[in-house]
Amino acid sequence: MYADTLPSTAPPPRGKSLTAARAQHVVKAYGSGATRVVALDAVDVAIERGQFTAIMGPSGSGKSTLMHCLAGLDTVTSGQIWVDDVEITSLPERRLTELRRDRVGFVFQAFNLLPTLNVMENITLPMDIAGRKPDAGWIAEVVETVGLTGRLKHRPGQLSGGQQQRVAVARALAARPAIVFGDEPTGNLDSRAGAEVLSFLRTSVDTLGQTIVMVTHDPVAASYADRVLYLADGRVVGDMYGPTADNVLERMKQFDGRGRAS
Amino acid sequence: MTMLKTSLRNLLAHKGRMLLSVIAVLISVSFVSGTLFYSDTANSDARSASRTGLPDVAVALASKDGGSQPLTVSSEDVQRLKEVTDAARAVGRVTTESVSFITASHQVLNASGRPVTATTWDSVSRNAPVVSKGRAPRDASDAVLDTETAAAGDVEIGDTLRVVGPFGTSVVEITGFTGVDEGQTPPSAVYLQPRTAQRTLLGDTGRYTHIALTAAPGTTPEQLAQRVKEFAERPYETKTVNEAAEERRETLAGGVAVMKYVLLGFAGLSLLVGAFLIVNTFSMLVAQRTREVGLLRAVGASRRQIGRAVLFEAVFLGATGSLMGVAVGLGLAVILLEATGTESAVVVRPGTLLLSLGVGIIVTAGSAYLPARRASRVSPMAALRDHGISEGDAHGRGRAWIGGLLTAAGAASLVGAGLAERSEPGAILLALGVVVTLIGFIIWTPVLARLLIRLVSLAVLRPFGAVGRLAERNALRDPRRTGATAAALLIGLSLVTGLSVTGSSMVASVEEQLDNSTGTDFVIEPPTGQLINAEAERAVKSVDGLKTVTDRKRLTVTLVTPGGKKTRSSLIAADTSYLRDLHVATVAGRMTDAYGVGGMSVDENFAKKHGLDVGSALQVGLAEGVTTQLTVKAVTVESPFDRGAMYTGLPNLLNSVPAGQVPANDAMYATAEDGQAARAYSGLKKELAAYPHIRVRDISDYKKSMQDQVSEVLTMVYGLLALAIVVAALGVVNTLALSVAERSREVGLLRAVGMSRVQIRRMIRLESVVVSVFGALIGVGLGLAWGVTSHELLALSGFELLDVSWETIATVMTGSVLVGLLAALVPGRRASGMDILTAIKKD
């Protein structure tokens, strides 16, 4: 398939492999017998460190399921997943929670923030939960990067949708996770706010060396990524480096056509 | 129709969420209906109180002077009255309740708590008792009694019964039982032969306490009574059969009525607490359904339709809870009836059924009214918005003002009560203050929540880091909701605290008085209203090892003050040794002088009221026709013992009242020779074994039985308050469960960013504990204020010591933590068990 053939843009941290997350023969099926639905059908994927990867595919292609499995939010039926060199499919629930807390960051489409906490508290939430002291310098840098300085005491309700998503990005980055997962992070935003959030993600990859995986159905969003993985019917059906909005769109049409033809 | 369908579907969809509301309605309604069923049944018993033994007209002498002996009439009086009034029959009778019956097994006979009357056997007057088993009494030693009392005391025909009256003891043999018609409550009475009754109860043969007149045909009892009144020779007072029957009914119903109102009061409390739960439930359901309501509005449902749909849900919920409540209430009534020894089938009146259902439905619908109105105001735009509505101005200024003003008014009333110089206006101020501060605080809790929850959190949540902070924020998120939850809890807890302070202050004060002002070793007391007859008195005095024995007699006397005012009062005439048995502090004069020849004492309040001082002379009617002059030699301080009593030396009584009119002792006190206390105590118990109705206690037993009495009452009240507290605890569970459901996305998010299940549970638990502790803090604070105020009032009656039962307060606070922990169990488990993905995806 397409795994392990990619050029690396940044050297991996010492003692770590080149991949931030890896799926091997991952199957996710619901139900059994005649009603068995396969959401992921023996997927092999490697997410490289320091890269911005987009996962695309039509509705029901399994792209969200793949992300949830990679992020340790969902369990797999069979196969193995490594996140930051930890095999997570066999981890007990408690360890999985800790892994999400300490090594993974999330940006969801909506409802990313706790309304009772202010911006700063939301950003440091994962570390607060862990009982760790956040690295003040780093937090300041992240906050600065996403342009939230001056709004730290605001409650989420006082922010616009775009600002809220930026807070979510800041939170995802704050704990210096090995990997950040975005589940259609710009899905609810207008194009300007969306562009802002995406460029922050891009910046964090370029200047902070952050690894990001993002599920999207928006070719423009995907064009911010280094690489686009295409899923259809629970399988990886395409892999594109250096995408532009146009060729992503072109590729999507192709798959759609093929999907309809088959 | 469609709206109705929507309502029903909503109910079914949310039946889990309605469960606790239904239970709250159920509990409250079951208590209301149980109480009503019980009182209906007991009242119908009372209504059919038997007329057995009630003559057409009962005639007795009206007392004009003092005296503690019943006034009696002679056989000639009976005969004369018959002639003057043209009655068909006139029978002299002796009747008294100042008597105890001791069964062969040394038990005191009583009819499920009601006193047993001794009366003479009269089979000729109207409504005469009828022997239903055995035979009527013939000899002086024969007696019959009613079937129910016999059953209560395990008395069989042929058994002997000791009749202990003020003037002696007789032994009688039971020859038969009297019965009444099915469904009637008989008067609990033992019927004696006249000679026996006269000897034992009056100490004088040939005399009667009253005359039973039977009207001749064509004369009504009322006409007959009129003739008696017109007969001027003697100052007779009359009671017709109807008046007497009404009196009996009232006596029977009186106890029931008190119990009914007490129970209804507690039921009302739990209903009030339940209302908070229902308000919260509907507020939260409405908030959750905002988008749905917005959609309905957008597609054309009117405001009224929306409001009505919510109210319909409430009515349905209220009806369901009430129906189940009535069923449970029937069970409660059966238990209550059994506990009080009433063996009738439960009376179910349609009115009671309707009332119980109505109360449940109206309270539920009333509680849902505000949320329904809020629902009707949801704009169609809400359907398009992402999140639920905020629940309005939760800490509105109006609320703060009203709550603050009411609290201030209530506090002023409490202060007024505390400063009151007399008990009655003080008590009214206290009651007013309690009610108004309670309402004030209920309105105020949401405002207080912001401040107090922060304080509680500072103290409690600090060690819990982010989890603690989230718990605090969640508790503060909707102050109105938190306030209502805590207010429900504070109602029960404030009452518990207030009563415990009052109760323990009373006990502590009396104990202190016992320690400081009693010199007696033993207290010998018959039941209230009865006396220690000469035989029992001799038995006491025969005990070895006693240094002093005090005779104490209580008389009802008439007093004429120097100003010419005539009043009735209670006067204690005792041996001088009583001064050492019970020290009485004086404001003026010396008690030894009051006990001297021609002396007496009056208490402070009486002296103030009538302008008396040491040296004032009073005309004292000691007995019928016996008036003597006594001089005030001492003015006493109010004390919890012998409340408001006046004292005089026994010789002052014995020197002026003929021997036959001197009452027996109403209590006796004794001190032991040095080192003989134990022997004397056991000697007293042994000698008085034949008089089980007379209690002998040494000081430590006396204290203990007093503590027991108070704690028994408190336990009962706490038990009833527990009902309100349980409903309030359900309210905490309810609020938590609903808000967890409401916040499922937040929980999902927290889990996704790495909060463990344990931490989620802890977060819910801490929120729950903080809210409970908040409610308990206000409750305890309020209760303390009430308790201290009521103590100030009690101090006026000599209960001067303030004793705050810290154990009770510690228990209340610990209990509130426990309530919080328990309440969080199910909601916490549900939250921590939530699947992350569904929690996130849910919209």
Q: How far is B722 from chain A (nearest CA, A)?
A: 34
pLDDT value for A44:
92
Q: Mind listing the pLDDT tens digit for each residue in B655-677?
A: 988 887 888 899 999 999 998 99
Render pLDDT for B2-58 as a digit per residue (tens, 0 to 9).
667 777 777 777 777 788 888 888 988 998 898 888 888 877 776 677 888 899 999
Contact state of A100 with B754 under an 8 Å Cβ cutoff = yes
Q: Please state the rounded mean pLDDT for residues A6-27.
A: 70
| Whole-number pLDDT of residue B175 | 94
Which pairing describes strands B130-134 and B168-179: parallel, antiparallel, or unpaired? antiparallel
Two structure tokens written together for B227: 């003739």
Nearest CA in chain B to A157: B387
Per-residue pLDDT at A258: 54
Q: Is B508 helix (H, G, I), strand (E, B) or coil?
A: helix
Span B597-624, mean pLDDT? 90
At A34 the pLDDT is 81
Q: Which residues of A touch B840 (CB under 8 A)?
A: 73, 108, 111
Q: Closest chain B residue to A125 measured between Cα atoms? A: B466
CATH topology classification for A50-75+88-261: Rossmann fold (3.40.50)
Nearest neighbour of B754 by CB, restricted to A93, A98, A117: A98
Tell which wins on pLDDT, A8 or B809.
B809
pLDDT band at B186 (very low <50, low <70, confident <90, very high): confident
Residues 6+ apart with CB under 8 A from B678: none
Q: Cβ-count burial of B387 within 10 angstroms (0-12 exposed, 13-18 middle, 19+ buried)?
A: middle
**Chain B nearest-CA residue for A161:** B386
Q: In this complex, do B753 and A97 lie within 8 Å of one another by their Cβ atoms?
A: no
Q: How far is Cα A12 from Cα A232, in angstroms, rounded to an integer?
A: 30
Q: Tell me which residue of A74, A72, A68, A67 sits closest to A53, measured CA to CA.
A: A67
- How far apart are alpha carbons B101 and B692 in whole angstroms? 10
Q: Is residue A218 predicted with pLDDT exceeding 60?
A: yes
Among residues B684, B688, B649, the alpha carbon closest in space to that of B169 is found at: B688
Distance from CA of A198 to the nearest CA of B (A): 21
Provide the shortest C-alpha distance from residue B268 to chain A (in Å): 37
Residue B99 CB neighbours (<10 A): 26
Under DSSP, the state recorded for B347 is P
pLDDT digits (tens, 9 = 90+) for B391-422: 444 446 777 888 889 999 999 999 988 888 88
Question: CA B439 from chain center: how many Å?
Answer: 23
pLDDT at residue B842 tops 70: no
Percent of chain B with pLDDT over 70: 95
Mean pLDDT for B61-90 is: 84
Are residues B746 and A114, on separate chains, in Cβ contact within 8 Å? yes
The answer to whether the Cβ–Cβ distance between A128 and B386 falls below 8 Å is no
| Most confident of the following: A140-144, B1-5, B190-194 | B190-194
Reply yes or no on whether the pLDDT at B800 is more than 90: no
pLDDT-wise least confident of B227-241, B324-338, B454-468, B623-637: B454-468
**Which residue of chain B has the CA closest to A92?**
B756
State whether B840 and A108 contact (CB < 8 Å): yes
CA B831, B835, B840, B843 dihedral sign is negative
pLDDT, greater one: B282 or B547: B547
**Which amino acid does the sequence have at B554?**
R
Subunit contact A114:B750, Cβ cutoff 8 A = yes
For testing contact with chain A, the best of B753, B756, B761, B841 (most A CBs within 10 A): B753
pLDDT at A131 over 60: yes
Over residues B255-270, the mean pLDDT reads 83
Q: What pLDDT is stored for residue B595 in this prediction?
A: 93
Taking CB atoms and an 8 Å cut-off, how many pairs form between chains A and B? 71
Facing residue for B836 by CB, picked from A73, A104, A114:
A73
Do the chains contact at B754 and A102, CB–CB below 8 Å?
Answer: yes
Span B194-207, average pLDDT: 87
Residue B519 has pLDDT above 70, yes or no: yes
Tell me which residue in B473, B759, B836 faces A117 most closely, judged by beta carbons.
Answer: B473
Confidence of residue B389 (pLDDT cuts 50, 70, 90): very low
Q: How confident is the model at residue A33 (pLDDT cuts 50, 70, 90)?
A: confident
CA distance B486 to chain A (A): 20
Instruction: Give the pLDDT of residue B522.
Output: 94
Average pLDDT over residues B354-364: 92
Edge to edge, the sheet with strand B89-93 lists B89-93, B210-214, B57-61, B236-240
Residue B704 pLDDT more than 70?
yes
Q: Where are the beta strands (DSSP E) in chain A?
A: 19-30, 37-48, 52-56, 78-83, 86-87, 104-107, 179-183, 212-215, 227-232, 235-241
Contacts of B746 in chain A (CB under 8 A): 111, 114-115
Q: What is the mean pLDDT of residues B66-76?
A: 79
Answer yes or no: do B466 and A125 touch at CB < 8 A.
yes
| pLDDT value, residue A115 | 85
**According to the model, what pLDDT value does residue B447 have?**
86
Residue B141 reports pLDDT greater than 60: yes
Kindly report the average pLDDT of chain B as a whole number.
86
β-strands A104-107, B57-61 pairing: unpaired
Q: Do A97 and B745 touch (CB under 8 A)?
A: no
Segment A146-191, tens digit of pLDDT: 888 888 999 888 888 889 988 998 999 888 899 999 988 888 888 8
Tens digits of per-residue pLDDT, B558-596?
899 888 888 888 899 999 999 988 888 899 999 999 999
pLDDT at B205: 83
Sorted by where each begins, the domain ranges of chain A are 50-75+88-261
CB-CB under 8 Å, A131 with B750:
no
In chain B, count of helices (H) and strands (E)?
A: 25, 24
* B757 in reach of chain A (CB within 8 A): yes
B contact residues 458-517, partner A, Cβ 8 Å cutoff = 465-467, 469-470, 473-474, 476-477
Q: Which chain A residues are within 8 Å of B745, Cβ to Cβ?
A: 111
Query: Tell me, what's the pLDDT at B385?
Result: 60
Closest CA relative to residue A109, chosen from A161, A179, A186: A186
B749:A128 CB<8 A: no
Q: What is the 3-state secondary structure (H, E, C) of B639-692?
A: CCCCCCCEEEEHHHHHCCCCHHHCCCECEEEEEECCCCHHHHHHHHHHHHHHCC
Nearest-Cα distance to chain B for A140, in Å, is 20
Taken in order A239, A240, A246, A251, is the CA torsion positive or negative?
A: negative
Confidence of residue A5 (pLDDT cuts 50, 70, 90): very low
With an 8 Å Cβ cutoff, are B746 and A98 in contact?
Answer: no
Residues sharing a CB contact under 8 Å with residue B538, sequence separation 6 or more, in sequence order = none
Residues B476-502 have a mean pLDDT of 88
Choice between B776 and B41, residue whose per-residue pLDDT is larger:
B776
Interface of B with A in 429-468 (CB under 8 A): 465-467
Contacts of A106 in chain B (CB under 8 A): 752-753
Give the Cα separation of B604 and B738 in Å (integer). 61
- Percentage of chain B surpassing pLDDT 90? 34
> What integer pLDDT is reported at residue B392 of this predicted model?
47
B555 touches B571 (CB < 8 A)? yes
**Shortest distance, CA B758 to any CA of chain A (angstroms):** 9
| Joined tokens for residue B266 | 């507690």
| Chain B: closest CA distance from residue A146 (Å) | 19
The predicted model gives A218-231 an average pLDDT of 92
Q: Which of residues 353-392 of B touch A (CB under 8 A)?
A: 386
Q: Is the pLDDT of residue B452 over 90?
A: no
Q: CB of B532 within 8 A of CB of B667?
A: yes
pLDDT at A88 > cutoff 50:
yes
In B, which residues are within 8 Å of A104 by CB distance? Answer: 754
Percentages helix, strand, coil for chain B, rounded to the nearest 5? 60, 15, 25
* B795 vs A228, more confident: A228
pLDDT digits (tens, 9 = 90+) for B294-334: 887 877 778 888 888 888 888 999 999 999 999 999 998 88
**What integer pLDDT is reported at residue B497 of this predicted model?**
92
**Interface of chain A toward chain B, CB-CB under 8 angstroms:** 68, 73-74, 93-94, 97-98, 100-102, 104, 106, 108, 110-117, 121, 125-126, 128-131, 171
pLDDT tens column, B97-113: 888 999 988 888 887 66
Rounded (10°) angle between helices B15-47 and B699-742: 140
User: Once rounded to an integer, what is the mean pLDDT over residues B191-197?
Assistant: 91
The predicted structure's pLDDT at residue B166: 86
In angstroms, what separates the C-alpha of A6 from chain B's closest C-alpha?
30
With contact defined as beta carbons under 8 Å apart, do B285 and B14 qualify?
A: yes
Cα distances (Å, whole numbers) of residue A252 to A62, A111, A156, B211, B672: 15, 28, 35, 115, 110
**Comparing C-alpha atoms, which of A255, A251, A256 is closest to residue A240?**
A251
Q: Which residues of B touch A108 (CB under 8 A)?
A: 749, 752, 840
The fraction of chain A above a pLDDT of 70, given in percent, is 91
For the residues B806-824, what does the mean pLDDT come to?
91
Comparing CA positions, the residue from A207, A128, A215 lying closest to residue A174 is A128
The pLDDT of residue A2: 42
What tokens appear for B720 in the block?
Answer: 């009833």
pLDDT value for B619: 92
ipTM of the complex in this document: 0.85
Contact A126 B750 (CB under 8 A): no
* HSE-up of residue A251 (Cα within 13 Å, Cβ side): 25
H/E stretch holding B308:
helix B303-339
Between residues B12 and B600, the one the model is more confident about? B600
Residue B539 pLDDT > 60: yes
